[in-house]
Amino acid sequence: MREPGFRTDGTWVGADVPRREDPRLLAGRGRFVDDITLPRMLHAAFVRSTEAHALLTSVDLSEVRGVPGVVAAFDAAGLGLADITALLDRPAEEFTPTSMPVLARDKVRYVGEPVAVVLATDPYAAEDGVEAAVVDYEPLDPVVTETAALAAAGAPVHDEAPGNVLVDVSLFATEGIDAVFDAAHTVVSVEARTGRQNALPLETRGVVADWDDRDEQLLVRTCTQVPHQVRTVLARCAGLDEKQVRVTVPDMGGGFGQKCVVGREEIAAAAAARRLRRPVKWIEDRREALTASFLAREQHYTARAAFDADGAILALEADVVCDMGAYSCYPFTAGIEPLMASAEMPGVYRVPAYRVRGRAVTTNKAPTAPYRGVSRPQYVMVMERLMERAARSLGLDALDVRRRNLITEFPYRGINNITYDPGSYLESLDLCERVLRDEGWHRHTEPGRVVGIGYSCFSERTGYGSGAFAQRKMQVVPGFDLSQITMDLDGTVSVTTGTLSHGQSHETTFAQIVADRLGVPYDKVKIVQGDTDRITYGWGSFASRSVTIGGSAASAAAVKLGDQLRALAAHLAGVDVDTCELDGRGGVRAADRTLPFTELAEVAYLRSHLLPKDVGPGLTATASFDVGGDGTFSNATHGCVVALDPGTGGVEILRYVCVEDCGVAIHPRVVEGQARGGIAQGIAGALFEEVLYDEAGQPLAPSFMEYKVPTAAEIPDVRIEHLETPCAFTANGAKGAGEGGTIGAPAAVLNAVNDALRGTGVELDSTPIPRHAIFAALAPHEEAS
């Protein structure tokens, strides 16, 4: 490992430098939101709906206010906040606007929906207060499944959407596609369901807010991936100027998308702090996190694909229904999952004809947010099942069918009107297969168990620019990122980013990028993130955008500052600026001498009379970046070996190989960490985790006893191989690496299970893969032998 200092060989980018985040986190000296305690701080707890669907007839908090320690309690009328509303710029037949009240008003739409907030001097008393609330309901028939939602038999979840459909888009519909299906040699179909999941950051959501009279500002410390969006929504809900709200983000214990939408509780707690003029803390407990936070992933696919006799895909058609729960999330709306699936389902394959219908239905379940991968784990799984099924039907090797269809010439303009930048789709498949073959897994057997191998090929659009989101017709269009860089008197540098690390090591990787651009030591670059007063505007971290977009902005700002330093050196040395260059060691070479940054900074700050007439004091530069065109595509192939136990239906993963290509890896070890962690979450979705509800809409997995998060006993070691196709559109050649692991894993695991079941006549297409289905498939087989 390279020690901090000036670079002597190569560059900081690409080196596994020690993480800047580690010392404090390892020592237990990080600062997470629940670590913050303020004088006179109150603790919030929420009265939550016990009904899935009901009219709210009365909320009586009088007993609550008498509980020892309770200071105040508010219902919706008491706080008087405006609703949270997220919109798409789509016509009425495609999108039905709904809004989410901060506290339920008139009606509740899921078990766990916040109805009132109780403020007390300690969290125990706040929970005592919650128990004293008396809420009366007039129950309505709950809409619990997507089938019930589409049947629209009873009271709708939202009156604005009588059919319970919030988004309904039909896209692409290639001319003549029906004739292609009619004439095709082979048509295969897949019907798949994927279970509802919880992104499950280990740190639950939380906030500490207080009104500062000196700054005339509501200071909100909250664990969010999107601080500026929280500021905007809070300002709107509470009728404040944006300047009257400052959102800062302490250390965060993961997010995975659940924290990239604005939560109702953070708004309510902040509003209570302002009302009471006392600090308020709210820390979500695990039961709330499992039942009443934001969920994801519950989708239903009906898909078919036409192939010729040689295995070339001719057409793809899909109907995708996403169960988005009770509310549209801000800023993405309920369109997040169906729009992603519809836009990108053809994936890594050359699909000549495509038709898709994507719908978001609303049900009486906790609302959804983007979760790592957003729809891609699902549609990749369906595409990979179609490939496998076609291979079986045609009597071809499934990898050869993939090879026949993989995009190999770039840039490739897809049927979905997206241009793919160069990747290593075929190369990653070849390498993944070779690794598993060389390790002997294609011949592997296990006594008493059935072994199977599965693969998945996919790409992952990352670094969505504003153009890509505008194409989705989001009214709030994320995309750009801004960076401001400042060099201080001593030659050290700080750089702001609107992206926000919550485990992804931005303090490290952004410092590597800037250190290279300026030629300053890595440990002399400080990254400033998560503070709406210090960062002009930003979109936070999601969709693997941080290094791609934020890193490019930081890079561009550093280049601008470098130009300022060169110009200043040229002036002081009396030479032409074109002859001056950064020396990579903290100085500028100007003709026959070198001016250290410290000397230039001294002029910029302390001896400004020496500056050129048209140059102001200080050393600071701002730059923005927005990925042009359709963004950039990371890609990977995953291969996985499973052993099935006929006695229990259990699945053990014996080997997992990931060949990934995220362009230039700024910090390879961090990239590997992202891949491994993502794969673990993908395996979790394939085999273990599901948020289930009973027919009354009561959540059945309110604790870790029921919601089975895999441990080190279930998650295998993962071998990772890197390919590198540098990206031409980003400043550093990086393409993004946050989500890929999660995207590829369910398909690889499902295909491996199906490979093991080959010969039983059973094919499984849904996740989490039911153990009983494996048991049933293997049981007669077992008896016969």
Which is closer to another protein, CB of 434 or CB of 676? 676
CB-side neighbour CA atoms (13 Å) of 216: 5
H-assigned helices in 286-375: 286-291, 336-344
What is the closest distance, in whole angstroms, from the C-beta atom of residue 127 to another protein in the complex?
A: 11
Gap between the Cα atoms of 308 and 90, Å rounded: 37
Which is closer to another protein, CB of 22 or CB of 400? 22
Helix pair 506-518, 551-573: axis angle to 10 deg: 30
Rounded to the nearest 10°, the torsion over CA 473, 159, 691, 343 is -20
* Per-position DSSP letters for 673-706, written without gaps between them: HHHHHHHHHHHIIIII----B-TT--BS--STTT
Indicate the DSSP class of residue 392: H
Which is closer to another protein, CB of 331 or CB of 678? 678
Which is closer to another protein, CB of 225 or CB of 624? 225
Which is closer to another protein, CB of 519 or CB of 682? 682
Quote the tokens at residue 309.
Answer: 């006799």
Q: Which residues contact 57 (CB under 8 A, 6 or more apart)?
A: 136, 137, 138
Which is closer to another protein, CB of 164 or CB of 512? 512
What is the closest distance, in whole angstroms, from the C-beta atom of residue 588 to another protein in the complex?
A: 35
Rounded to the nearest 10°, the torsion over CA 283, 286, 288, 292 is 120
Please, are residues 347 and 380 in contact by the beta-carbon 8 Å criterion? Answer: yes
Which is closer to another protein, CB of 237 or CB of 640? 640
Which is closer to another protein, CB of 223 or CB of 518? 223
What is the closest distance, in whole angstroms, from the C-beta atom of residue 210 to another protein in the complex?
A: 17
Which is closer to another protein, CB of 252 or CB of 603? 252
* Per-position DSSP letters for 423-452, written without gaps between them: --HHHHHHHHHHHHHHTTGGG--BTTBEEE
What is the closest distance, in whole angstroms, from the C-beta atom of residue 633 to another protein in the complex?
A: 23
| Look-up of token digits 């308020």 | 280
According to DSSP, the β-strands at 42-48 and 525-528 are: unpaired
**Which stretches of the chain bind another protein, using CB under 8 A?**
1, 18-19, 21-23, 25-32, 34-35, 37, 68-69, 123-125, 200-204, 251-254, 256, 285-286, 502-505, 669-670, 672-673, 676-681, 703-705, 709, 711-715, 717-718, 741
Quote the tokens at residue 3.
Answer: 């020690």
Which is closer to another protein, CB of 286 or CB of 526? 286
Which is closer to another protein, CB of 118 or CB of 135? 118
Which is closer to another protein, CB of 503 or CB of 646? 503
Please, are residues 199 and 256 in contact by the beta-carbon 8 Å criterion? Answer: yes
Gap between the Cα atoms of 780 and 785, Å rounded: 9
Which is closer to another protein, CB of 290 or CB of 351? 290
What is the closest distance, in whole angstroms, from the C-beta atom of residue 286 to another protein in the complex?
A: 4
**Phi and psi (nearest 5°) for 107?**
-150, 145
Which is closer to another protein, CB of 251 or CB of 690? 251
Which is closer to another protein, CB of 107 or CB of 372? 372
What is the closest distance, in whole angstroms, from the C-beta atom of residue 45 to another protein in the complex?
A: 13
Which is closer to another protein, CB of 210 or CB of 344? 210
**Phi and psi (nearest 5°) for 575?**
-125, 170
According to DSSP, the β-strands at 313-323 and 299-307 are: antiparallel
Q: What is the 3-state secondary structure (H, E, C) of 223-289?
A: CCCCHHHHHHHHHHHHCCCHHHEEEECCECCCCCCCCCCCCHHHHHHHHHHHHHCCCEEEECCHHHH
Gap between the Cα atoms of 418 and 426, Å rounded: 19
Gap between the Cα atoms of 164 and 150, Å rounded: 6
Distances (CA, A) of 32 to 165, 256, 543: 39, 16, 23
Distances (CA, A) of 263 to 75, 103, 196, 430: 17, 11, 19, 44
Gap between the Cα atoms of 416 and 149, Å rounded: 29
H or E element that contains 167:
strand 165-171
Length of the chain: 785
- The residue type found at 469 is F
Gap between the Cα atoms of 760 and 776, Å rounded: 10
CA-angle at 224, arms to 223 and 229, nearest 5°: 140
H or E element that contains 777:
helix 771-784
What is the closest distance, in whole angstroms, from the C-beta atom of residue 102 to another protein in the complex?
A: 25
Sheet holding 718-723, edge to edge: 450-462, 632-644, 651-661, 718-723
What is the closest distance, in whole angstroms, from the C-beta atom of residue 49 to another protein in the complex?
A: 21
Which is closer to another protein, CB of 29 or CB of 437? 29
Gap between the Cα atoms of 407 and 352, Å rounded: 12
For the chain, how far is it from start to end, CA to CA, in angstroms?
A: 55
**Which is nearest to 508 in space by CA: 491, 494, 492, 526?**
526
What is the closest distance, in whole angstroms, from the C-beta atom of residue 357 to another protein in the complex?
A: 34
What is the closest distance, in whole angstroms, from the C-beta atom of residue 257 to another protein in the complex?
A: 12
Gap between the Cα atoms of 339 and 342, Å rounded: 5
Which is closer to another protein, CB of 583 or CB of 714? 714
Gap between the Cα atoms of 258 and 290, Å rounded: 11
| Look-up of token digits 């009443």 | 292
